[in-house]
Chains A and B, each alone.
Chain A
Amino acid sequence: AQKITQTQPGMFVQEKEAVTLDCTYDTSDPSYGLFWYKQPSSGEMIFLIYQGSYDQQNATEGRYSLNFQKARKSANLVISASQLGDSAMYFCAMREITGTYKYIFGTGTRLKVLA
């Protein structure tokens, strides 16, 4: 069954340091996409980064990169040079090609950036 697991309910990081948020997934579909969303206290979920299962290179978007290890079924988010504004909930999500409208979300990791 499809599943997303985020094992870190909460994380702290010092400002300007890098942080890795863990995400593992389970699927039997060979074609799938992995997403990370950020949810600040305002409530709106903001798309950060996407990785396709057939992509050869790890996705990067500015300070965000996705460490995709297909054999391990992991898709960790790396945030470099953390800023105070990075404090938020972060959700990992997966969409399979066969699950036409279905996205599976993890339980989220709350990140707190310390000054």
Chain B
Amino acid sequence: DVKVTQSSRYLVKRTGEKVFLECVQDMDHENMFWYRQDPGLGLRLIYFSYDVKMKEKGDIPEGYSVSREKKERFSLILESASTNQTSMYLCASSNPTGATNEKLFFGSGTQLSVL
């Protein structure tokens, strides 16, 4: 079974801490994404990566950075966590088809609480 695995389902951190959210996919996908999900706002793209060491900002990159040293792993980093970063974080991957039918495969999400 193909899988996108996020390292933690629930995470509680203090303001000012550096937080790492890890995501691993076993489908050899080139594209990987980090989304943030908030009630009433849907999913918003933070960053995506289309190749190892390649990344592009999404719609809400402020306060976040990413790292992709290996094809299967995409990390989201909160340099100094703040309470407004309390949210559900979803990792996704896809294989580029060059067409509109390229679907996303998601992990189970990490519910991050920053206190």
Footprint of B on A, CB under 8 Å?
4, 9, 31-33, 35, 37, 42-47, 50, 52-53, 91, 93, 95-97, 101-103, 105-108
Contact = CB atoms under 8 A, between A and B. Distances in A.
Contacts of A4: 42
B45 interface: yes
B110 to A, nearest CB: 9
A47 B40 contact: no
A91 B109 CA distance: 15
Query: For the side of the interface on B, what is the size category?
Result: 20 to 34
B102 interface: yes
Given A33-B101, A35-B104, 13 more contacts: A33-B99, A33-B102, A43-B108, A45-B90, A50-B101, A50-B103, A101-B33, A103-B104, A105-B35, A105-B43, A107-B40, A107-B42, A108-B42
Nearest to B9: A43
Interface in B43-98: 43-45, 48, 50, 56, 58, 88, 90, 92
Contacts of B104: 35, 37, 45, 47, 103
